[in-house]
Structure 1
Amino acid sequence: MTARSDRPDWLRIRADFPVLTRQVHGKPLVYLDSANTSQKPQSVIRAVDEFYREHNANVSRAVHALGSEATEAYEGARSKLAAFLNVPADELVLTSGTTFGINLVAYSWALPRLRAGDVILLTRMEHHANIVPWQLVAERTGAKIRVVEITPSGELDLDDLRAKLTGEVKLLAFTHVSNVLGTVNPVAQICREARRRGVVTLVDGSQAMPHRAVDIPSLGCDFYALTGHKMLGPTGTGALWARRQHLREMPPFIGGGEMIKEVRFEKTVFNDPPHKFEAGTPNIAGVVGLGAAVDYLRGIGMDQIEAREQALLEIATRELSAIEGLRIFGSAPGKAAVISFLVEGAHAHDLATLLDLEGIAVRSGHHCAHPLMAHFGVPATCRASLAFYNTHVEIEQLAAAIGKVRKLLA
């Protein structure tokens, strides 16, 4: 990574991302889809390439030099990520992403424990990855799903949350940051409320990790799931943090090699956590790349990143709010740098397609949040999601392109 001063040079940092120099449809790329997947700095790309060029071997299964190097790099990345979260490395299960992590909790923690009449409490703003696994578990156990509603500004209704945290609730699963609204939920406060009532908590950290410092001990949750590809890392990477007591008590989710100490046809003795949950050959190069992404983020500083993105969000909100006929969804104070919007008379997909012709990449659709779209009475929105590598000029280009599209559709 390029050397940094106390005040980051954001244009120099932007130059670390090769894809941002390309053109789309003959126009400079304006990438505003980082909530879907972030772009990757050269240091992450180089780390993956170097692993395959110089160290490629399987982990934990060889005493030769390459095997030792691969294992050291893989476990080193686990340690980096653990330090980034301020948790012990042996409480961090490496996964393919948040979806796998939530499913691991659903099938290994919830399925053996829930009974008919128990309640899984979710929120209106959840991503499908934090809804569907719980529906599948509920169908198999007879448990019920209850939903906490949101306020008109897109904040979680904390009064509704308290009212629904009744004795039947065994698990509260909710997002740290909404991928549609940008709402930043008060995780520590919510977890305190749940803990007082003996309710276990799972937090979907996918949209928080790339944009703000996350100190898991201060949150007070039981499980925290994250995705690597949204925080500058390769796809197919992520992690699940869980309290050690849960990891000890949970049975393996997937069986195979690496998650065992001894296998006999009569009985298998499983490995200690977290390796008990890491069957088979992992995405070694990807995890090494994730370690490089952690290094990169720490090199800039998460406080600097959050401040930069908040400044960009302020400008973008002001620019888009000035466009006649444009509606923004979600106005919670302190929200993350995500703007979901619609333009009067334009379908979200048509708008995104026309913006793409201007070189501007925004997401259109339901954003894996059908219940939230239904709440607002719309089938889809466009979403511009900002990252620290975006610029003020790109925001102006977005606003100008939306104005051009409005004229075309008039």
Structure 2
Amino acid sequence: MKNIYILTVFLALMACGNSEKNKASKDEEIVNSNEILITQSQFNSEQMQLGKLEEHDFNEEIKTSGIIDVPPHNKASVSAFMGGYITKTPLLIGDKVKKGQLLVTLENPEFVEMQQQYLEIAEQLSYLKSEFTRQKTLFDEKITSEKNFLKAEGTYKSSLAQYNGLRKKLNMLNISTAAVEQGNLTSTVNLYSPINGFVTKVNISNGAYVSPADVIMEIIDTDHIHIELSVFEKDILKVKKNQKIRFKIPEASSETFEAEVHLVGTTIDEKTRIVKVHAHILNEEQASFIVGMFVEAIIITGSVKSLALPKDAILEMDTNYFTLVLDKKANNNFYFKKIKLDLGSQNEDYATVLNSDELKNKDILIKGGFMLLNESE
């Protein structure tokens, strides 16, 4: 029994020793897995390069969004001053129109009644004016009473006011008062385009009745389009006139376009805490922008110098970023170790390294690192 006990203790000690050895072996593997070896011939054949951290300019940016829009004076909502039935509507959405071009024709018996009233007053006005002049002369010569004079004056001026009012209404309806005075009455009126542009909405059809409150159609002049951006309150003090903007139309193109801040809003929306920023597009003819398109934009508010690495020197593994730093060189072999990176601002070619203290004055593999990373895996 004593011998069995001694044997058991011995085996237990051996097992503990092997466990410690295995643990040490695993730790060594973990340490060695962070080191990558490359020969001189491999370094040359893959055209690898060493470099160091360098200072580069990075833009300070504000990310925002908005829409393609046009100035208010480039939009027109067409309505009728009086209700009527549509008898002619030759245009469709997308049609190009010129200022003064016929858009739609309306018909209403009330148009005729208004012209009749105008014609009746116009014919009476000549008599009322001469009667007013006669009574004034008689009153000045003390021949007639003041009452008769004032009555003639009141009748004439009242009729004149009605005449001018009806004349103005007919002009607003595009009815020729000269034609009416010649006895040519019409039951229809034409509506014409107030601006050059394109028809973007048509809300009527032949035979439909429209009231003065109805928008018959909308026209937009796209000769000068711009961007209306929404900037949050926390960023608005950084936005200034003439700052550069880069923007995309994510639903239509991957191309990047340029714009410039033109106006910064002076009020904040109480609900959204957003300020509107008006930007002019540079080279508007570069693309066929459509009013209402959604845009994603970056406003460049300034620049700052930061220590950075070229993107070829940055390797991505399991959502983490690393770079390869030369640990030593011996016997024509290069020994690199992986250093985890904390990245900041980026541009097309470089990325800011926030934990730059670990890399200062170190030789870093700035080209060819992807091949080494694959070998290490």
- TM-score band (shorter)? under 0.3
- TM-score scaled to structure 1, two decimals? 0.21
RCO higher in structure (CA 8 A, sep ≥6): 2
- TM-score scaled to structure 2, two decimals? 0.22
